[in-house]
Amino acid sequence: MLENILSKAKSLIEEITEENDILIDATCGNGHDTKFLASLTGPFGKVYSFDIQDDAINNAKKLTQGMTSIQFIKDSHANAKNYISSNVKAAMFNLGYLPKGDKTITTKSESTLKAVTQILDLLVPGGRIVIVVYHGHPNGKEEKDDLEYFLSTLSQDKAKVLEYRFINQKNNAPFIFCIEKAQTAES
Amino acid sequence: MLENILSKAKSLIEEITEENDILIDATCGNGHDTKFLASLTGPFGKVYSFDIQDDAINNAKKLTQGMTSIQFIKDSHANAKNYISSNVKAAMFNLGYLPKGDKTITTKSESTLKAVTQILDLLVPGGRIVIVVYHGHPNGKEEKDDLEYFLSTLSQDKAKVLEYRFINQKNNAPFIFCIEKAQTAES
């Protein structure tokens, strides 16, 4: 069976990640991806997990008790460079709102683009940013359009940008952008 | 590294194909995909390979000498049902013109859609049609748009339609549609 969106998003990270890698969960949410990333990199790796909401970080901390590689950061992913200097292997984004949380608090174009730009700089050559785009909420279409325009104009010398999408699904089904930094790009 | 378009097109077929399967090369061209399909299904499988041009079939026959599973059919893929009755595991299309051939002879919307519709009927549940869309030639944009509209309106109950595309490439780079017939669909 063709891999569905959530499974493919994980596979795209898993394919390139090794123990002890530095990883980013750019949208901590309830912590499911943070837990997944921490299990990949192991106890001596590092996962930076960003969220602006206390609820998200508290839920994620409960879910990941005992996983010592995780550093939770209560700040916008748009400030990633304030906390991380280089050598990131992979990063995940789940755009939209906190599941079961306040649906009016969503990721937004400006900060999403800023975060993607910063994290792309932080990636090692061959590193990946995987973005699951949820665009059914009110700001979602604008964020999707802005992101798509931004990514479609990224230089091929800098990165490849893959779109993985099921085109015959209803209700603004989520899809994936995967940005892979060029082997020859500066890290 | 993220799989490129031609490699991914092959992987999507290879993942589901077993020895002795019935396969279709809907656009024989110079025979490279026909050879690939014949190597997957083996001497006791079956590959139907369609092309409307003598040059294509002659070139492909030379390339695949000794591969007894191949039946070349000099007719439009739009008439697939005249030659095949059922149980097809997978089919490949490379849209556009014959490489190194007459660039004015290209696949076209009407026959492409007819072929896809017929072959989707012929597929077993879980079977796939992989289409590499070359859309830089004069008819290419119309064919791409018509195909995209047709596939985006296919019922989810009948099939999933995946788009796999690098969005920051120049010059109308080719991309993939992969149609996977539902497990519950009639074959």
pLDDT per position as a tens digit, B7-47: 999 999 999 999 999 999 999 999 999 999 999 999 999 99
pLDDT for A186 equals: 65
Q: Is B14 on the interface with A (CB under 8 A)?
A: no
Q: Is B22 on the interface with A (CB under 8 A)?
A: no
With bands split at pLDDT 50, 70 and 90, how would you rate the model's confidence at B187? low
Contact yes or no for B163 and A166 at CB 8 A: yes
Please name which of B68, B34, B75, B80 lies closest in space to residue B53, comparing C-alpha atoms: B75
Of A126, A164, A167, the CB nearest to B161: A167
Domains of chain B: 5-181 (3.40.50.150)
Q: Give yes or no for residue B101 having a pLDDT over 90.
A: no
Give the tens place of pLDDT for each residue, A11-50.
999 999 999 999 999 999 999 999 999 999 999 999 999 9
Distance CA A15, CA A7 (A): 12
Read off the pTM: 0.95
The ipTM is 0.95
Searching chain A, which residue's CA lies closest to the CA of residue B161? Answer: A166
In Å, how far is B68's CA from the nearest CA of chain A? 30
The answer to whether A158 touches B165, Cβ cutoff 8 Å, is: no
Please name which of A90, A93, A185 lies closest in space to residue A147, comparing C-alpha atoms: A93
pLDDT for A18 equals: 98
Which H, E and C letters describe A32-62, residue by residue? HHHHHHHHHHCCCCEEEEEECCHHHHHHHHH
Of A126, A162, A167, the CB nearest to B166: A162
For the range B49-55, what are the long-range contacts, defined as Cβ-Cβ under 8 Å and sequence gap of 24 or more? B49/B24, B49/B25, B49/B73, B50/B24, B50/B25, B50/B26, B50/B75, B50/B76, B50/B77, B50/B80, B51/B27, B51/B98, B52/B76, B52/B105, B53/B98, B53/B101, B53/B102, B53/B105, B55/B98, B55/B101
A56-61 average pLDDT score: 97
Q: Give yes or no for residue B98 having a pLDDT over 90.
A: no
Searching chain B, which residue's CA lies closest to the CA of residue A5? Answer: B162
Give the tens place of pLDDT for each residue, A112-171.
999 999 999 999 999 999 999 999 888 899 999 999 999 999 999 999 999 999 999 988
Distance CA A97, CA A108 (A): 10
In Å, how far is A125's CA from the nearest CA of chain B? 10
Of B1, B152, B168, the CB nearest to A167: B152
Q: Give yes or no for residue B52 having a pLDDT over 70.
A: yes
In Å, how far is B102's CA from the nearest CA of chain A? 31
Cα angle vertex B2, ends A185, B5, to 5°? 120
Q: Is B171 on the interface with A (CB under 8 A)?
A: no
- The tokens for A59 are 């839920």
Of B2, B152, B153, the CB nearest to A178: B2
Q: Give yes or no for residue B170 having a pLDDT over 90.
A: no
**Helices and strands (H, E) in chain B, number of each type:** 5, 7
Give the tens place of pLDDT for each residue, A78-111.
999 999 998 999 999 999 888 888 888 888 899 9
Contact yes or no for B168 and A152 at CB 8 A: yes
